[in-house]
Amino acid sequence: MEYASFLDLLLIVLTVLLFVNVIMNKMRIKEPEENLGRDALPSVSVLIPTRNEAKNIKACLNALAAQDHPRFEVIVVDDASTDKTLQLANEIASRNDRFRLARGREIAPHWIGKPYASFQAAQVSRGKYLLFMDADVVLNRKALSMMVSAAKKRSAGIVSMIPFQTKEGFIEGILAPFKYFHLFLLFPSYAMDWPWEPLAAYAHGQCMMIEREAYKKIGGHSSGSESIREGVALARAMKKKGGKIRLLSGASLAKAKVHGKPPELWEGLTRYLYSMANRSIIASMLLALLYFAIFVYPAIKILVLPFTADFSGLQLIAPIVQILLGIIMFVTAVGNFGLTFGEAIFLPLGALIWVGMFIRAMLVVMSKQGIVWKDRTIHLS
């Protein structure tokens, strides 16, 4: 009984410490407020790598066509789509001379699809700033102006923005927010300003703006040529070169679809965790254990304790407190990115599935079978 009480106290203290990190991140990762005005805005090239994005490309490009920025271009490089992505993109591009479309070249050795398509788009771009954006992102009409204003005023090499999540269905609602929650829970965004900590660097690859000269300085996408999380790879390369990195909230400036129905969502999030497991199996094991201990174990304890011989209602206080802290922390971290309180109360279930994804990602790494991404099997070195 004493051991159980000590463990409960330890987990509550750990939860509070993580909550402090969440609050510090929320204080730092805010929406941009800068707006230089039309005449002072530098030119921007919006670069969109696509592969089988027929469901998303029209909304993405229509939103870009409506931007209030006066000097920008849009370049779509298609990576061998087998659906109607290019056809749909061409319908919109034909009505707007800012848009250019290209078929991507065959993937070169030591590259994977998205970074290589992004690299090709950058090669033919003309803007002073390069916005690399996924086709499932839809921008508010002021987003481009606000983002480039923030990049210029803060003298940042990389500015990236976390979009609001749009999702459908119960499973998507409780599981998709974990990708953002993982960032707010564990990443020390304040350490991005510490030059002595090279790994404390992050850029959100869904919507990532890089100043052209800074992009050249880090070798472009060759810094993340074989990375599923190329934003992180480019941010670390930027920090090593002494460039500034800024992470912004785009909760009211951009929307992004989650990966889709449960099977697609499972594959998409597993792929995200696979890239972490590929770097360190031990670190992934510890992270899976952390999520289980903080968010799943208290719920199991509440379910099991009433059936034990020496059960007392007081024994439920600690796990209930821990679950409530977890739910409040979950809402604090990602409530403005699409998580509802109704979804947040299923935190233990979502965390259990998240742990399962960690385990699957580790098994894939150990089996060396690779992970499927856009109908291709990828093996990371």
Regarding pTM above 0.85, the answer is yes
**CA gap 48, 59 in Å, rounded:** 13
SS3 125: coil
What confidence tens digit (pLDDT) does each residue in 279-302 have? 789 999 999 999 999 999 999 999
347 closest CA partner among 359, 335, 358: 335
- CB–CB of 304/296 below 8 Å? no
- Dmax over CA atoms of the chain, in Å, equals 75
**CA gap 203, 118 in Å, rounded:** 15
* Domain 28-171+179-258: homologous superfamily in CATH: Spore Coat Polysaccharide Biosynthesis Protein SpsA; Chain A (3.90.550.10)
How high is the pLDDT of residue 1?
A: 47
Token pair belonging to 217: 């300085």
Burial class of residue 50 (count of CB atoms within 10 Å of its CB; 0-12, 13-18, 19+): buried
Residue spans of the domains in the chain: they are 2-25+264-378, 28-171+179-258
How high is the pLDDT of residue 268?
A: 82
Residue-level pLDDT, tens digit, the chain, 381 residues: 445 578 888 999 999 999 999 999 999 999 998 788 888 899 999 999 999 999 999 999 999 999 999 999 999 999 999 999 999 999 999 999 999 999 999 999 999 999 999 999 999 999 999 999 999 999 999 999 999 999 999 999 999 999 999 988 888 999 999 999 999 999 999 999 998 898 899 999 999 999 999 999 999 999 999 888 999 999 999 999 999 999 999 999 999 988 767 777 888 888 888 888 887 899 999 999 999 999 999 999 999 988 876 777 677 888 999 999 999 999 999 999 999 999 999 999 999 999 999 999 999 888 888 887 777 888 776
Strands 245-257 and 158-166: parallel
How far from 46 is each of 5, 35, 99, 147, 249, CA to CA, in Å? 55, 18, 9, 12, 19
Token pair belonging to 273: 């965790």
Token pair belonging to 46: 């919006």
Alpha helices in 104-221 (DSSP H): 113-123, 143-153, 170-175, 178-186, 212-217
